Amino acid sequence: MKRNLPSVALRAGLACVAFALAQAASAQRLPLERIKLPAGFEISVFAESVPGARSLALGKNNVLFVGTHADRVYAVRYRDAKATQVLTIASGLNMPNGVALRDGALYVAEVNRILRFDDIEAQLEGRPKPAVVTDRFPRETHHGLKFIRFGPDGWLYVPVGAPCNICEPDPRHGMISRIHTDGSGYEVFSRGVRNSVGFDWDPRTRELWFTDNGRDMLGDELPSDELNHAPKPEMHFGYPYCHQGDTADPELVRKRSCSEFSPPAVKLGAHVAVLGMRFYTGASFPAEYRNNIFIAEHGSWNRSKKIGYRVARVVVEGSRALKHEVFAEGWLQGESVWGRPVDIEVMPDGSLLVSDDHAGAIYRIAYRGR
């Protein structure tokens, strides 16, 4: 005698209910009450069970794509400001940190190559096979994680970090490059960049701003991580000869002068490990937040007292930074860490998403009014 099996729709509905229950249980374990925000803002869990969540890219149909520092790329379906499903769309990759979307295709950055998954939102559950856009990038894993984004000029921007703490890199390292969507037209946009894992373009000027991580082993207070402004190609930001715009490297002090290079727009603090950043283009935050930069600080690993583990806010006007302050903090409690912010995404409803590769979570920051 045949048993009545649940329909596909019923099974899908049951799966969503189970996922929501698991999300709620996991969210209770994250001490969000410790996060301090300006008055009127609140934080909640957008998605849990996203191991190693790092770079974020927003799809069109309530889908968020998430790169990782391990071997997987995820698609997060969401509804009503909460994740309803987390799908693995690719695995077995080499540190696929970077994700970006263009014309329905998902671009994924591994250490040495860029992949493209065509018509990705129609294939979320099918483990689609990617095309290789290019495999010309260096294979070193030291500072090998790549953040990628499409610029307003249509180019795909791909940074390549220095393969060391401090060294004179060859021409293929220590810079931000850009390529066409088919992998052609490779060129260097900026040099003297030790390790950028986040950038965005000012929506008013269409000019590039990027974060850069300073060198290690010069003590607790030197050098500062940087927020840099690159309004044109071929600018050099000092690495490895000059740090934070005014500090010559002690190992290379006789090689070049700091006066030869472009200084940072903002010194963000030594060892805070600045990663993802976004200009705020939403409409739900108060007016003074419009076009501000939000920066994820992953947090220090080589400092006698930990610092970072928060989200910073920078107010910029033209080429100048007018204000730099902490926007969200509390993932660091004394010397104990329970979360590490990695990337920022602005949602259509004006909220901010913040990924956390330590907790395997994505948070949502919204404004509810005073």
Cα 227 off chain centre by: 14
Q: Where residue 26 falls among pLDDT bands split at 50, 70, 90?
A: low
Q: Where residue 17 falls among pLDDT bands split at 50, 70, 90?
A: very low
pLDDT of residue 13: 46
Residue 281, CB-side half-sphere exposure with 13 Å CA sphere: 14
The token pair that represents 145 in the structure block: 């994680």
The token pair that represents 177 in the structure block: 């490059």
**Would you call 251 exposed, middle or buried from its count of C-beta atoms within 10 A (0-12, 13-18, 19+)?**
middle
Cα distance between residue 334 and residue 76, in whole Å:
33
Q: Which residues contact 142 (CB under 8 A, 6 or more apart)?
A: 161, 162, 163, 164
Residue 341 preceded by cis peptide, ω within 30: no
- pLDDT tens digits, one per residue of 187-243: 999 999 999 999 999 999 999 999 999 999 999 999 999 999 999 999 999 999 999
Q: Identify the residue whose tokens are 């705020």.
A: 280
Domain 57-330 CATH class label? mainly beta
pLDDT of residue 3: 45
pLDDT of residue 369: 85
Torsion angle, CA of 98/321/353/307, rounded to 10 degrees? 80
Identity of the amino acid at 100: A
The token pair that represents 176 in the structure block: 């931000």
pLDDT of residue 303: 95
pLDDT of residue 127: 87
Q: Identify the residue whose tokens are 């979570």.
A: 361
DSSP 5-49: PPPHHHHHHHHHHHHHHHHHHHHTTS-GGG-B--TTEEEEEEE--
- pLDDT tens digits, one per residue of 88-136: 999 999 999 999 999 999 999 999 999 999 999 999 998 899 999 999 9
Q: What is the mean pLDDT of the chain?
A: 93
pLDDT of residue 309: 98
Mean pLDDT of 305-314: 98
* For residue 370, pLDDT beyond 80: no
pLDDT of residue 97: 98
For the chain, what's the residue count? Answer: 370
Q: Which of 62-66, 76-80, 148-152, 254-258 has the lowest mean pLDDT?
A: 254-258
- pLDDT tens digits, one per residue of 262-272: 999 999 999 99
* For residue 6, pLDDT beyond 60: no
- pLDDT tens digits, one per residue of 36-83: 999 999 999 999 999 999 999 999 999 999 999 999 999 999 999 999
The token pair that represents 230 in the structure block: 């690159």
**Would you call 358 exposed, middle or buried from its count of C-beta atoms within 10 A (0-12, 13-18, 19+)?**
middle
SS (H, E, C) 68-104: ECCCCEEEEEEECCEEEEEEEEECCCCCCCEEEEECC
Beta strand 98-102 pairing with 247-248: unpaired
pLDDT of residue 352: 98
Per domain, the residue ranges of the chain are 57-330
Residue 6 preceded by cis peptide, ω within 30: no
- 21 or 245, greater pLDDT: 245
